[in-house]
Each structure stands twice: as structure tokens, then as C-alpha cells.
């Protein structure tokens, strides 16, 4: 029996319409008003928005970092995502130096096996192109890994040199994959970090103060220049500052296929508000790039509105405050970098974007679902409500009130970056491939039901 969602307001990146949605099995069969109800199971969506499930293109579940692992695994992390209205994630497999990317892919498939509650894709973090790196990249693309991430920061750990970045970009110009850049000048930052430590500046705030926005902007500019020389598109991850945004905007104004995402923490949190520099509590906000001065926030919102920024992801990478962040009690460089957010992205962007009048409803859908699906080669299977698309559908209560708190969230972490934030608008029912997986905050499905997504290179966001 097919499922008929009646009387809701269907919102896509392009349109807002009163329409019925007919779900047949795992996919959407029809979207129009007046679909005859006979023989279908009826869901009444009166007063609700019918949205495509959210797509979070940047998560780190069960990720090794500095001798520990991010505290959410594929089960707890994807369950929390689903409860918040996200039905697709793209996580990162990490190639270890001197090993094949295939080994990392197998490792991350293993992490997701039996655990993923929603569909997931994988990016591959490249740390070493070695002798067979190009074949390795091509073989990843044939496995549906349509994007690679390279680091211009974290020297000695993940950072690669410009030659490696340029070679990888040239390879993607041929195989159609997309390079994602962590853009910060890691060499300069390392000098500033060593100087701070030598001066006895070990508190968490120095993590932020040793990573200037110019170090981000310079790397963004260099990444885009290398992509231009390679004839390849490039995607800047977790862009955090006005200085960096200016580089992306200028490139896009010149017609280059440069893309960038930002994250809720950069839109809503700041050094002034979250890191007063008085206690180790600041470690809750140690992630990279760091929090910025408040004046950057409105610039990022403007960037989203005007399509200088295309996507909001979370960079979800939780570490418990009590026993993981504490590793850096006497040295900020030993604080695991990352913060939790996978559950709250849709609520926060809806409330502070749509309710606040900064974003239209359609733009909200675009930056949280359609654009990441398109850029990362999953569209129109994911990211929209249309005949033939996967039935990943969120029934969204636009007036539902919710207070974000670690006491009630579903992420496996002992604090919230958004503790006490009040939002209006929340996921009420969540369907993934036609299956009701969340009903009013309760997760109903079986872990392991989530499927690996084979993504298509040249996702269609650039010509």
C-alpha cells in the first residue's frame, strides 16, 4: 500500500506549493494536489511543511583524533541526525600515510556496517599520493567516492604540500570528482602556536588566537588559484570568516567553479560570547577553524543569502568535555578539535535563518539539502521532493518550540554548543526511503538500515 501525505506545504529549493505527496515503496511517485486517496495509507500534514530530508555533507563519526575517537559512532550519530531532520550524511574516510585509500574505505564501511540509521556517503581524505595515488583516486570514484578532502593545516599529521594538492586537483579535472579543502595556512599557524606555548599561553582561548582569519583567507585564495590552474572545481569546507568569504566571492564573480560551506557554529557563536578566556569551559568550543569575532556572523549569513556560500554543514565531530576535551587541560594543542551539531543544524538554520527573515524557505531547503546533494553527486536521488526521488521526507512543524540542551539531545556527548538556545520549527515525522524512522523525537527504525550511497562524479553544479 502506498503512503499519501495530504494537505501539507511542499517546499523545495524552487517552489512552495500546497500539494499531496504519494510515496510508493522507497521512492516518491507523484507530487500534485488532489491525488485520489483511495487505497492509500493517509498521513495528514495539515499545517506542516513537507521538506526533503536534510543532507549534511560534513560529519566525522567514530573518527580517530589525537589518541581518542569522536564520541558519536555511526549509530548514535546518524540517529541524532535523523531526529533533527537530516536523512543523508557524507562522512570522511581517512587514508593513512603509506597505505591505499581502499584500506580506509573498507575501514569506514566497517564502521557504518550494522550501525548507520540513515543513508551515507563517504569522502576520502588524501594524506599521501605516493606512487599509485592517481589510480587509487580513480578507483575511489568508481566506488562512488566522488569527493576528496585535502588539508592545508595540521602539519605533520594531515597537511599536504601544494604539489600534492595541485596533482590531486588535476586528477579530479579528469575523473570528475570534487576536491574539498581545509583551508588554513598550517605552517604559519604552527609558528604562532609554538610561540604561544613558549610564552606559557596554554589555555583553550589560544587555540582561537593562534589561527588568524588571514591565515584562512590566504589558504582559500591559494586553493582557488591552484584549482583554477588545474582546471578543476574546488569546495572550501567550514568557511568561518569574512576575510575568507571575500576570496570565494571574488572567485565566483570571475565565474570560477568555487564552492564553500559554513556551519551553524560560525553563524551563531563567537569568541566574545563563548570563549571569555576565563576557564577551561572554553575547550567546548575548540575546533578548527576556530570561533571568530562576532562581526563575522552577519557577513556569513549575507553570503548564504547571496549564494557566495552554497551549503550549511555541521562538521560534527564531538568529544566529551569530561574525559576527552580534558586531555588538553594544560596545553590547548592537546584538546581534541571538534564540536557536536549533527542533530541541531536544521532547527538552528530554520530559526535563525527563516524565522529571522535572513533566508527564504526555499533558500533554507537549498542550503541544507538540495545544494549539498547536487554538489556531491546525489541529486535528484536526494535533496528534493520529486517523482523518482528517494522518499526522504521531513514533516516539519513550523511552530514547534524546542530548547536545545545536552540533557535532552540524542548525540553521545556530555555538552551542547547551543545549550539553552530556543528554536521555533522542528522535525515532527521523518521518512527515509519511505520508512517512518522518527515520530515526534522518537527513533523507530533499526540501526544498520542506512545504505552506502554511490555518488556520481560531476554532480552537476558546474559545467
- Contacts to Zn ion by CB under 5 A: 315
**Least distance to Zn ion, CB of residue 317, Å:** 6
Strand order across the 258-262 sheet: 54-59, 86-94, 119-125, 147-151, 178-182, 234-236, 258-262, 311-312
Copy the grid coordinates of residue 130: 605516493
Q: Based on CB atoms, which residue is closest to Zn ion, 31 or 153?
A: 153
Please, are residues 56 and 372 in contact by the beta-carbon 8 Å criterion? yes
d(CA 238, CA 182): 8
Q: Judged by CB, which is closer to Zn ion: 216, or 315?
A: 315
**SS3 sequence of 63-85:** CEECCEECCCCHHHHHHHHHHCC
The sign of the torsion formed by the CA atoms of 156, 161, 167, 170 equals positive
Phi, psi of 331 (to 5 degrees): -160, 110
As measured in angstroms, the least distance from the Cβ of 280 to Zn ion is: 23
Closest alpha carbon to 337 in 415, 285, 293: 285
The least CB distance from residue 315 to Zn ion, in Å, is 4
Rounded to the nearest 10 degrees, how much is the dihedral formed by the CA atoms of 231, 232, 238, 242? 30
Which one, 73 or 315, has the nearer CB to Zn ion?
A: 315
Q: Which residue is nearest to Zn ion (CB)?
A: 315
Give whichever of 92 and 431 is closer to Zn ion, judged by the CB atom: 92
What share of residues in the chain are helix, strand, coil (percent, to 5)?
35, 25, 45
CB of 266 to Zn ion, least distance (A): 13
User: Minimum distance from CB of 379 to Zn ion (Å)?
Assistant: 22
CB of residue 408 to Zn ion, shortest distance in Å: 25
- Of 7 and 96, the one with the shorter C-beta distance to Zn ion is 96
Q: Which is nearer to Zn ion, 123 or 428 (CB)?
A: 123
Amino acid at each position: 500500500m502506498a503512503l499519501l501525505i495530504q494537505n501539507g506545504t511542499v517546499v523545495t529549493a524552487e517552489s512552495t506549493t500546497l500539494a499531496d505527496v504519494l510515496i510508493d515503496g522507497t521512492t516518491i511517485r507523484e507530487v500534485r494536489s488532489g491525488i485520489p486517496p483511495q487505497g492509500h495509507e493517509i498521513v495528514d500534514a495539515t499545517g506542516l511543511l513537507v521538506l526533503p530530508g536534510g543532507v549534511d555533507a560534513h560529519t566525522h563519526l567514530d573518527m580517530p583524533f589525537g589518541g581518542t575517537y569522536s564520541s558519536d559512532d555511526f549509530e548514535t550519530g546518524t540517529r541524532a541526525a535523523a531526529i533533527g531532520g537530516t536523512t543523508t550524511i557524507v562522512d570522511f574516510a581517512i587514508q593513512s600515510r603509506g597505505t591505499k585509500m581502499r584500506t580506509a574505505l573498507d575501514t569506514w564501511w566497517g564502521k557504518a556496517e550494522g550501525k548507520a540509521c540513515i543513508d551515507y556517503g563517504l569522502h576520502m581524505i588524501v594524506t599521501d599520493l605516493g606512487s599509485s595515488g592517481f589510480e587509487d583516486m580513480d578507483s575511489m570514484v568508481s566506488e562512488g567516492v566522488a569527493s576528496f578532502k585535502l588539508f592545508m593545516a595540521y602539519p605533520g599529521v594531515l597537511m599536504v604540500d601544494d604539489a600534492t594538492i595541485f596533482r590531486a586537483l588535476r586528477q579530479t579535472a579528469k575523473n570528475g570528482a570534487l576536491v574539498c579543502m581545509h583551508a588554513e595556512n598550517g605552517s604559519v599557524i604552527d609558528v604562532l602556536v609554538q610561540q604561544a606555548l613558549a610564552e606559557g599561553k596554554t589555555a583553550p582561548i589560544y587555540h582561537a588566537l593562534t589561527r588568524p582569519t588571514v591565515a584562512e583567507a590566504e589558504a582559500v585564495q591559494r586553493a582557488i588559484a591552484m584549482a583554477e590552474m588545474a582546471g578543476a572545481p574546488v569546495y572550501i569546507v567550514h568557511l568561518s570568516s569574512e576575510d575568507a568569504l571575500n576570496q570565494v566571492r571574488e572567485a565566483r564573480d570571475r565565474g570560477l567553479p568555487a564552492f564553500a560551506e559554513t556551519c551553524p557554529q560560525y553563524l551563531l557563536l563567537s569568541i566574545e560570547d563563548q570563549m571569555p578566556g576565563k576557564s577551561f569551559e572554553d575547550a567546548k568550543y575548540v575546533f578548527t577553524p576556530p570561533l571568530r569575532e562576532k562581526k563575522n556572523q552577519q557577513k556569513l549569513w549575507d553570503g548564504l543569502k547571496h549564494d557566495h556560500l552554497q551549503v550549511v554543514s555541521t562538521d560534527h565531530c564531538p568529544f566529551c568535555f569530561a574525559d576527552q576535551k580534558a586531555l588538553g587541560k594544560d596545553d590547548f594543542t592537546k584538546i581534541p578539535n571538534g564540536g557536536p551539531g549533527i542533530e541541531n543544524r536544521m532547527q538552528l538554520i530554520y530559526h535563525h535563518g527563516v524565522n529571522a527573515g535572513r533566508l527564504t524557505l526555499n533558500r533554507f531547503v537549498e542550503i541544507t539539502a538540495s545544494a549539498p546533494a547536487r554538489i556531491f553527486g546525489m541529486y535528484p536521488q536526494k535533496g528534493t521532493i520529486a517523482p523518482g526521488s528517494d522518499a526522504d521526507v521531513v514533516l516539519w512543524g513550523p511552530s514547534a518550540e524546542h530548547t536545545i540542551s545536552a540533557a535532552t539531545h540524542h548525540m553521545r556527548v556530555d555538552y551542547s554548543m547551543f545549550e539553552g538556545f530556543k528554536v521555533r520549527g522542528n522535525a515532527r515525522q521523518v521518512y527515509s526511503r519511505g520508512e517512518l524512522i522518527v515520530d515526534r523525537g522518537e527513533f523507530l527504525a533499526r540501526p544498520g538500515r542506512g545504505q552506502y550511497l554511490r555518488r556520481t562524479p560531476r554532480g552537476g553544479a558546474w559545467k
